[in-house]
């Protein structure tokens, strides 16, 4: 009955529908073409960062422990809890010898003031750690050698002072830890925050100039030792002050006093080193 109903359709309707539908050959396959979709592909073609291999996203001034270690798929604790894990510090030791040598060269040319710009995207703690460690052993070795020679020239008995090692460790490790922390808090107060690791990196490399200065202190001339300590202190203080000046200028009118305090504090370190490491008493 249903077939008979459809065979007696109105001729006009049938002819109209036949005109509007193209004939399809019975090949067993039907080609279907979809219209272009407005959905975006993932990842987007304009994505930036490590996924697309483009430039990294802008860094926040306080992203001290936001860097993640490459190749680690394990779940890591977030927030400040991550600062107590080893993975939080791995990226800051991911540098090679050429990187460290380039940054050491930058510290020996303090008037450039481009160190913070070059290390902003990849500050490291590897160089500062070994610079401070080298300073401790160089200070102890040079101080011991100089005092030994001075006692031998005067035919006096000489005894090794182990306190020279512990004192040097306290000075250098303490300085590159406490001073950047204090400066970090001060800059936060004046609404000119800087990355904490960036400050550790800057202050650590600023101490490299004292290594050759300590080696030159073997010359038994007091005026020469004062000159060496003064030049090293001036270079180190200029290196830190000029690299922080552009950033601290955003703190307002007080930026000059902050930069001056940073410069004088670094000079004070050189005076302390002269009095306790560059001076030989028999």
Tell me the pLDDT tens digit for each residue of 230-273.
999 999 999 999 999 888 887 677 788 889 999 999 999 999 98
Report which of residues 36 and 206 the model is more confident about: 206
**pLDDT number for residue 231:** 95
- What does the pLDDT average to over 23-48? 47
- Determine the Cα–Cα distance for residues 87 and 146; give it in Å rounded to an integer: 43
Which residue, among 257, 230, 235, has the nearest Cα to 245 in the 3D structure? Answer: 257
Residues 130-179: tens digit of each pLDDT: 999 999 999 888 888 878 777 777 777 777 777 788 888 999 999 999 99
Residues contacting residue 267 through CB under 8 Å, at least 6 positions apart: 233, 234, 237
Residues in the chain: 282
Q: What angle do CA 80, 84, 88 make, to 5 degrees?
A: 85
Q: What is the pTM of this model?
A: 0.69
For residues 78-89, give the mean pLDDT: 68
Do 92 and 197 meet the contact criterion of CB atoms below 8 Å apart? yes
Nearest residue to 134 via CA among 203, 214, 209, 211: 211
Cα–Cα distance between 199 and 272 in angstroms, integer? 22
- Give Cα 149 distance to the centre of its chain: 42
Mean pLDDT of all residues belonging to the chain: 75
- Higher-confidence residue of 62 and 109: namely 109
| Helix-helix angle 222-248:196-206, to 10 degrees | 160
Q: Is the pLDDT of residue 105 over 70?
A: yes
Give the pLDDT confidence score for residue 5 in this predicted structure.
Answer: 45
Q: Check residue 70 and give its pLDDT.
A: 47
pLDDT over 70 percentage in the chain: 68
Distance CA(245)–CA(125), nearest Å, equals: 22
Count of CA atoms in the C-beta half-sphere (13 A) of 125: 16
- 3-class DSSP state for residue 262? helix
> Has residue 94 got a pLDDT over 60?
yes
Helices 126-153 and 196-206: crossing angle in degrees, nearest 10, is 30
């Amino acid at each position: 009955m249903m077939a008979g109903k459809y065979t007696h359709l109105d001729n006009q309707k049938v002819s109209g529908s036949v005109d509007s539908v193209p004939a399809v050959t019975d090949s067993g396959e039907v080609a279907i073409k979809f219209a272009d979709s407005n959905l975006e592909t993932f990842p987007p073609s304009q994505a930036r960062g490590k996924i697309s291999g483009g430039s990294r996203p802008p860094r926040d001034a306080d992203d001290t422990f936001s860097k993640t270690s490459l190749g680690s798929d394990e779940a890591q604790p977030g927030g400040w809890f991550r600062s107590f894990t080893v993975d939080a510090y791995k990226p800051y030791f991911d540098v090679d010898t050429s990187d460290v040598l380039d940054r050491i060269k930058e510290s020996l040319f303090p008037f450039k003031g481009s160190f913070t710009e070059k290390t902003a995207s990849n500050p490291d703690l590897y160089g500062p750690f070994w610079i401070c460690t080298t300073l401790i052993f160089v200070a102890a070795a040079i101080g011991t050698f100089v005092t030994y020679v001075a006692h031998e020239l005067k035919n006096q008995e000489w005894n090794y002072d182990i306190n020279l090692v512990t004192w040097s460790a306290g000075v250098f490790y303490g300085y590159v830890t406490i001073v950047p922390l204090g400066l970090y808090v001060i800059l936060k107060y004046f609404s000119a925050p800087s990355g904490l690791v960036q400050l550790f990196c800057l202050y650590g490399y600023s101490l490299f100039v004292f290594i050759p200065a300590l080696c030159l202190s073997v010359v038994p001339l007091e005026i020469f030792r004062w000159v060496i300590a003064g030049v090293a202190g001036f270079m180190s203080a200029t290196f830190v002050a000029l690299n922080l000046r552009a950033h601290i200028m955003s703190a307002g009118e007080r930026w000059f006093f902050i930069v001056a305090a940073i410069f004088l504090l670094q000079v004070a370190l050189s005076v302390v080193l002269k009095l306790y490491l560059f001076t030989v008493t028999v």
